[in-house]
């Protein structure tokens, strides 16, 4: 690991100022991804700004009738928070499907959104990678690309975003609150992460020096009909090959509103709002779900080893929609965790 200096910030404005004045600095809280990247020489900050003394751990009601999740609240505290379990069980279920209990105890909400791809070539500094070294090429295009993206790709990058939590936040239409050199602003969740385009090195739309301070959940939490389906290579502690977060509002068997977000298939959590709109007013039937799944995957493109993800994605969407339709009770987090080690 390269040498670096470290300071512990005690105020948001101090942290922002320190980051803005040093282009080779990095924020660190739980460190569950950053420290790995530093050990592998993928990230080489010369200065770390510790955030754990900042007052950003609260989970409390916001002024819009929803819930505000502090950026430094841990994933574990968020998943087990009684208001999250009660009002946003989709988010609780999704967090519990990710990582290990030890990592969830350390990882923060803000850090979860900022974690970087687990593409093997991104981590292997002996191979070309446009995300790690812009202009060097994308080894995954012609390489072993089983875990890679099938939607929203570019000739520059076919990496996927690894977060489970972000998929649920996309479905819930959360808002990211940030503080930076020019003050505070909010970012709609769909606008927070980027597709690769010709700048795959840029994962998100944060500006220089900006710090995530909170994530706001809207009032609607789809607490009656929801599911998070995570398909992975082993039952526990693995990143999604394909995942689907679904929130439904039903009136009898008629769909009043549908949210469908996919993980493991794109550079960011993937939603097709036009397809979601076509489900409005439709009956919650398997035939309608299959049509929606086919439409969502219409522009999907495989790169050889990941061709199977297209059909897998369709089937996962149908299965997730069926599971959400059949739910009539909120999540019992203890029961979920016991059945998903």
Q: Do the beta carbons of residue 28 and residue 107 sit within 8 Å?
A: no
At 276, phi and psi to the nearest 5? -55, -40
In whole angstroms, give the CA distance from residue 245 to residue 43.
31
Given this model, what pLDDT does residue 328 score? 56
Given this model, what pLDDT does residue 336 score? 47
Nearest to 87 by CA among 71, 68, 70, 103: 68
Q: Do the beta carbons of residue 116 and residue 122 sit within 8 Å?
A: yes
Q: Are strands 47-50 and 25-28 parallel, antiparallel or unpaired?
A: parallel
Q: Which residues pair with 129 in a beta bridge?
A: 138
Q: Quickly list H helices, the chain.
A: 12-20, 34-39, 75-79, 82-87, 89-96, 101-106, 109-114, 120-123, 165-172, 189-192, 273-279, 286-296, 308-326, 333-339
Alpha-carbon distances of 18 from 23, 51, 186, 218, 295, rounded to whole Å: 9, 12, 21, 32, 46
* Regions of the chain where pLDDT drops below 50: 329-341
Alpha-carbon distances of 327 from 11, 15, 181, 226, rounded to whole Å: 44, 44, 45, 7
pLDDT digits (tens, 9 = 90+) for 240-274: 999 999 999 999 999 999 999 999 999 999 999 99
Positive or negative: CA dihedral 277, 282, 287, 289: positive
Q: Give 88's Cβ-side CA count (13 Å radius).
A: 31
**Token digits of residue 283:** 């009956």
Alpha-carbon distances of 225 from 120, 131, 161, 320, rounded to whole Å: 36, 38, 26, 11
Sheet strands side by side (includes 183-188): 59-61, 67-70, 211-217, 175-180, 183-188
Alpha-carbon distances of 25 from 18, 43, 234, 238, rounded to whole Å: 8, 10, 36, 30
Q: Do the beta carbons of residue 341 and residue 236 sit within 8 Å?
A: yes
Residue where the block lists tokens 């998070």: 228
């Amino acid at each position: 690991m390269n040498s670096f200096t470290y300071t512990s910030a005690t105020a948001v404005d101090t942290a922002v100022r320190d980051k803005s004045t040093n282009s080779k600095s990095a924020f660190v809280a739980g460190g569950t991804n950053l420290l790995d990247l530093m050990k592998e020489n993928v990230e080489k900050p010369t200065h770390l700004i510790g955030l754990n003394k900042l007052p950003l751990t609260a989970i409390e009601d916001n002024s819009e009738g929803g819930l505000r999740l502090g950026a430094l609240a841990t994933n574990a505290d968020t998943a087990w928070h009684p208001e999250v379990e009660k009002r946003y069980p989709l988010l609780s279920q999704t967090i519990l499907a990710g990582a290990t209990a030890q990592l969830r105890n350390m990882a923060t909400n803000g850090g979860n959104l900022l974690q970087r791809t687990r593409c093997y070539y991104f981590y292997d500094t002996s191979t070309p990678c446009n995300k790690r070294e812009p202009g060097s090429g994308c080894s995954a295009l012609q390489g072993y690309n089983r875990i890679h993206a099938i939607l929203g790709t570019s000739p520059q990058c076919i990496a996927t975003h690894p977060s489970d939590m972000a998929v649920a936040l996309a479905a819930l239409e959360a808002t990211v609150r940030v503080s930076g050199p020019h003050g505070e602003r909010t970012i709609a969740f769909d606008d927070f992460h980027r597709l690769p385009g010709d700048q795959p090195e840029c994962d998100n739309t944060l500006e220089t020096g900006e710090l995530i301070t909170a994530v706001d959940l809207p009032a609607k939490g789809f607490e009656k009909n929801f599911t998070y389906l995570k398909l992975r290579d082993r039952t526990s502690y693995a990143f999604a090959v394909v995942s689907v977060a679904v929130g439904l509002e039903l009136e009898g068997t008629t769909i009043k509103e549908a949210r469908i977000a996919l993980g493991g298939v794109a550079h960011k959590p993937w939603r097709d709002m036009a397809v979601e709109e076509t489900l409005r007013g439709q009956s919650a039937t398997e035939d309608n779900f299959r049509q929606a799944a086919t439409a969502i995957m219409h522009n999907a493109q495989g790169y050889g080893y990941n061709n199977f993800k297209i059909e897998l994605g369709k089937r996962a969407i149908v299965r997730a929609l069926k599971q959400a339709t059949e739910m009539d009770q909120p999540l019992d987090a203890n029961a979920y965790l016991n059945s998903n080690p």
